[in-house]
Amino acid sequence: MRIVSAEIRVIEVPLKVPFIVSYARYDVMPSIILTLTTDTGLVGYGESVPDEHVTGETVESVVAALRDQLLPALRDTDPSNLLQVHERMDGALLGNGAAKAAVDIACWDLLGKRAGLPIHAILGGRKPEQPMIAKVLSILPPEEVAAQAKQAVEQGFTHLKMKLGIDAAQDVASVAAVRGAVGSGIRIRVDANQGWRDVSTARRMIAAIAPYDIDWIEQPILADDIDGFRRLRPHTDAVIMADEAVITSGDVARLVRDDSVDMVNLKLMKSGGILPCQRLATQAALGGLAVQVGSMLETSVSSAAGYHLALAHPNIVSTELSGPVAFADEPGDLHFPLPHVEITDRPGLGVTLDPTVLTRITVSAKELTIS
């Protein structure tokens, strides 16, 4: 099997409500859908959702990387040979995890379709339960985020994730308001997205929200503060998760060595797709760190890829692939019987794309010949 052509399609996926985190606001989510067609007639889908604040990539840089380096490097490569695919991509271009993720996901989709198996089966099998999804709440005034939290619980969510990190007083007031709105039976986790920045602020904020029964605190400090988690650890017994600080195996190794966090948030977009994240999840397990698979608000394509990985890896204890439920219109067909997501046993990703929706949200599209 060989790749003979590719389509790079830039889309803008509309959100139901704006998505606001400590470093940005999104009214639509830009994404790149990659379609790979083989000489056997099989078609595989991949996706890239770059975030310049995390990996330094933009939509424009991903398109250029796919067009000029990564896809040309796959000439005469069997896309089902994922080891060789990554070897070729890494030889062509350093980093660029979100661009490589699109290729990785599309190749896994092709491998599954070729084998007639879902990706989780190729990865080793699946856990008996369907993955659970948390409702992600943007940074909003306390009364607004509390109302959204209450509505989410009424819709069937049992886990809430609050984005924090712009204003300290508002952060505490928002956590208090949400806990008051949903009661004690709903699980709450928070994510500062580096917004608390330094260790002393993180210590103060973690202590301030401790009375509201928080499951874990995600990325409270700057990602490039290499010793920050180690310095924070002795001052709190809260469960701490690293996110933006974890991209490579060296990052995991440092956190394990320092015994400074309890969990890591792996994202296909940060680290280059399913295969690298599978390795990182195993490395984390050997180091005693639990794993969450998160997302950059991706469509059903990349979200399904993350769910397949989570289903097949025993050390992945949480999934936050919430893009499809946040979108007003998206091309994929993942089904969410809340608070779960239904991952089928259809071959590959198990996702079908609606061409009408794709056309409606397309910004640009380019076809390439690979062979």
Considering the candidates 267, 270, 298, 330, report the single residue annotated as catalytic: 267
Q: Of these residues, 51, 191, 244, 320, which one is catalytic?
A: 191
Catalytic pick among 57, 104, 243, 244:
243
214-218 and 187-191 beta bridge pairing: parallel
Which residues on neighbouring strands pair with residue 13, listed in sequence order? 29
Q: How far apart are alpha carbons 122 and 139 in whole angstroms?
A: 39
Expressed in angstroms, the distance from the first to the final Cα of the chain is: 12
Q: Using the structure block, give the residue that is written with the tokens 């933006």.
A: 244
CB 279 within 8 A of CB 253: no
Q: What pairs with residue 163 in β-bridges?
A: 191
Among the listed residues 47, 163, 171, 270, the single catalytic one is: 163
Please tell me the distance from the alpha carbon of residue 282 to that of residue 164, in angstroms, as a whole number: 29
191 tagged catalytic? yes
Q: Taking each helix axis from N to C terminus, what angle separates 142-155 and 168-182, rounded to the nearest 10 degrees?
A: 30
What type of residue is 103? V
Report the SS3 class of residue 105.
helix
**For residues 349, 355, 357 and 363, what is the CA-based torsion angle, rounded to 10 degrees?**
100
Query: What's the CA gap between 242 and 245, in Å, rounded?
Result: 6
Q: Which of 47, 218, 251, 298 is catalytic?
A: 218
Angle at Cα 107 formed by Cα 101 and Cα 109, nearest 5°?
105
**DSSP code at position 212:** G
CA 365 to each of CA 30, 34, 95, 303, 368: distance values in angstroms, whole numbers, following the listed order: 13, 10, 24, 22, 10
Q: Which residues are catalytic?
A: 163, 191, 218, 243, 267
